[in-house]
Amino acid sequence: MATVTYDKATRIYPGTERPAVDALDLEVGDGEFLVLVGPSGCGKSTSLRMLAGLEDVNSGRIFIGDRDVTDVQPKDRDIAMVFQNYALYPHMSVADNMGFALKIAGTPKAEIRQRVEDAAKILDLTEYLNRKPKALSGGQRQRVAMGRAIVRQPQVFLMDEPLSNLDAKLRVQTRTQIASLQRRLNVTTVYVTHDQTEALTMGDRIAVLKDGVLQQVGNPREMYDHPANVFVAGFIGSPAMNLGDFHIEDGQAVLGSARVPLTRATLDAVTPEDNGKIKLGFRPEALDTTSAGNGGIPISVNLVEELGSDAFVYGSLAGDKEMAESLGSGEDADQIIVRVDPRDVPMKGDTIHVRIREGQQHVFSSATGQRLPV
């Protein structure tokens, strides 16, 4: 087992000006499960492939433990990688697939058999060892790919969106198995996904990337409760955080009839570049319904999503066009999401008024998008 360190690691693809990964500084602790997450094209898979040795590092360095592996061949890095598409040999049995890398390395047959049997027991694959991959379900094939990585007993596991090809129910079940398996084996793991729900439920820590630049690193609770900027706020959480541009008047954030008091620390952090505006964020569960004329935000109901234990209202800001473009869920969306009592849901077309629960707003600079003190 070992730590993993990216020291200003940069990857620039030929023919492009902007780095796919830009001066990544990141340290993964010994035995830690770190999730790299972000939208498509953010550089998360490139970061993983740089660690695996499948992509060149144009500048900076990468360490596994105390060893600089920046220019080391992939086969000599003591890592094992699990891919999105399983990459199993169709003509081999499960046992042969799992033990193939050991066979190539010249490991004695008895040791290969013992390691394969041990891994199969961990993964509940013992009864499938003589089957071919075509006789397995998608989840079982992914477990075989996991087993192939486990038998090598590497210093670091690398996983590149291993659940993307599974259906929704199986994805939930398998992510639980992967997370518990990693904790049992206590092997340093770097896991790439675009699904922030996977990131929140699986990782010891999460690293959020955007356009090749690291935005924030922290444990799931920190990322949810204290996003560092507008992008992280809109990306982490399902449903997404509502974000809106408010004017500052008399120490309050104002949008139409809605008024939210701002602290002295927040007001002191506002700069002239913010142009008298501030960006507020608030989660769907941080809103309470209130009566009209009570300083609430008016929302026209477009859709109600009833989930049994929860209900979510999807709506738009009621008012003139300028107001309607000022508030939405996520970084770019124009709909507002409110969690409501599932036994008292409004109807489509209704207008409801909501207020931000005291102390549950997130405050960001209108100019830079960075978090401000509250």
Domain boundary among 203, 218, 233: 233
Let me know: does 36 contact 160? Beta carbons within 8 Å: no
Q: How far apart are CA 204 and CA 255, in angstroms?
A: 38
Task: Name residues whose C-beta falls within 8 Å of residue 189's C-beta, 6 or more positions apart in sequence.
Answer: 32, 33, 34, 156, 157, 158, 159, 182
- pLDDT for position 33: 96
* Tally of domains within the chain: 2
Instruction: Let me know if residue 371 belongs to a domain.
Output: no
pLDDT band at 60 (very low <50, low <70, confident <90, very high): very high
Whether residue 83 is found in the same domain as residue 177: yes
Q: How far apart are CA 200 and CA 209, in angstroms?
A: 15
Q: Is the pLDDT of residue 1 over 70?
A: no
More confident residue, 26 or 169: 26
Whether residue 207 is found in the same domain as residue 247: no
Which CATH number belongs to the domain containing residue 344 in this structure?
2.40.50.140
Domain boundary among 233, 268, 290: 233
Which CATH number belongs to the domain containing residue 218 in this structure?
3.40.50.300
Whether residue 104 is found in the same domain as residue 224: yes
Joined together, the tokens standing for residue 345 give 């849901």
248: β partners: 253
Instruction: Let me know if residue 123 belongs to a domain.
Output: yes
More confident residue, 329 or 367: 367
- pLDDT for position 328: 82
Joined together, the tokens standing for residue 204 give 């010891």
Instruction: Let me know if residue 373 belongs to a domain.
Output: no
Instruction: Let me know if residue 86 belongs to a domain.
Output: yes
- pLDDT for position 116: 95
Whether residue 23 is found in the same domain as residue 145: yes
Expressed as residue numbers, the domain containing 123 is 4-233
Whether residue 161 is found in the same domain as residue 258: no
Let me know: does 20 contact 11? Beta carbons within 8 Å: yes
Q: How far apart are CA 46 and CA 51, in angstroms?
A: 9
Average pLDDT rounded to a whole number, residues 304-315: 92
Whether residue 269 is found in the same domain as residue 218: no
pLDDT band at 3 (very low <50, low <70, confident <90, very high): very high
Average pLDDT rounded to a whole number, residues 148-167: 90
| Residue bearing tokens 């996904």 | 193
Domain boundary among 233, 266, 300: 233
Whether residue 349 is found in the same domain as residue 293: yes
Task: Name residues whose C-beta falls within 8 Å of residue 169's C-beta, 6 or more positions apart in sequence.
Answer: none
Task: Name residues whose C-beta falls within 8 Å of residue 372's C-beta, 6 or more positions apart in sequence.
Answer: 265, 266, 269, 270, 278, 363, 364, 365
Instruction: Let me know if residue 355 belongs to a domain.
Output: yes
Task: Name residues whose C-beta falls within 8 Å of residue 97's C-beta, 6 or more positions apart in sequence.
Answer: 88, 89, 133, 144, 148
pLDDT tens across 267-280, in order?
999 999 999 999 99
Q: How far apart are CA 124 and CA 104, in angstroms?
A: 25
pLDDT tens across 173-198, in order?
888 888 888 998 899 999 999 998 89
Q: Computed over its alpha carbons, how large is the radius of gyration of the chain?
A: 24
Backbone angles phi, psi at 109, to 5 degrees: -60, -40
Whether residue 271 is found in the same domain as residue 354: yes
Per-position DSSP letters for 287-342, written without gaps between them: EEEE-TTSSPEEEEEEEEEE-SS-EEEEEEE-S-HHHHTSEEETTT---EEEEE-T
Whether residue 254 is found in the same domain as residue 310: yes
Instruction: Let me know if residue 264 belongs to a domain.
Output: yes
Instruction: Let me know if residue 374 belongs to a domain.
Output: no
Instruction: Let me know if residue 277 belongs to a domain.
Output: yes
Whether residue 132 is found in the same domain as residue 25: yes
Q: Which stretches within 124-208 are classed as H helix?
A: 138-150, 168-185, 196-202
CA geometry: angle 306, 310, 311, nearest 5 deg? 45
Whether residue 80 is found in the same domain as residue 228: yes
Whether residue 180 is found in the same domain as residue 277: no
Average pLDDT rounded to a whole number, residues 286-294: 85
